[in-house]
Amino acid sequence: MQEGKDIAMLLRGWMEAYTSRSMHDMWRFARKTGLSMPQYGLLRRLYHGGECEVHEVGRHFDVTSARASQLVDRMVQAGLVARTENPEDRRVRTVALTAKGRALVEKCVEESYRWVDDLAVGLDARTRTLLKELTPLLMKAEEAMPRPEKHAALSAIRGAR
């Protein structure tokens, strides 16, 4: 049982380092581009999950429909997302990334993972070999774990890879 706790502590340490670096780089990029965190979050949601209805934006961010509409309006004005009406029900509006929005998210993803690329290059051959063997096993074990319905966005992200 202690060995499981030891492994968990090692994984927690890695998660802390990974999350801290990745989030720092992501926030820095968002600030540099003038995006708020909700705006950047919407871009990431659309990038990984595809187009969605405006009311789904509200549910995703746990805000009112009016607040979601304001967020979408600012993103449309910036040319980062496009909003279209459903021809069968004009009350329903769909939001999707524009080419400009997609390019911005891709640039952020590239910048926020640059440190991982640097880390991988800096590892010795033995460590790289071990990681090639172990990482797929970890990913497979994680994928086999039960996934709460609330975290469906993570499944969408994994499917986009």
**pLDDT for the residue numbered 91:** 80
Q: pLDDT by residue (tens digit) across 131-141?
A: 999 999 999 99
Global pTM value: 0.71
Residue 139 tokens, joined: 């990913």
Domains for the chain: give ranges and CATH numbers.
23-122 (1.10.10.10)
Q: Is the pLDDT of residue 146 over 70?
A: yes
Q: With bands split at pLDDT 50, 70 and 90, how would you rate the model's confidence at 1? A: low
**pLDDT for the residue numbered 149:** 62
Residue 112 neighbours by CB distance under 10 Å: 19
Integer angstrom CA distances of residue 154 from 86, 115, 141, 149? 27, 22, 16, 10
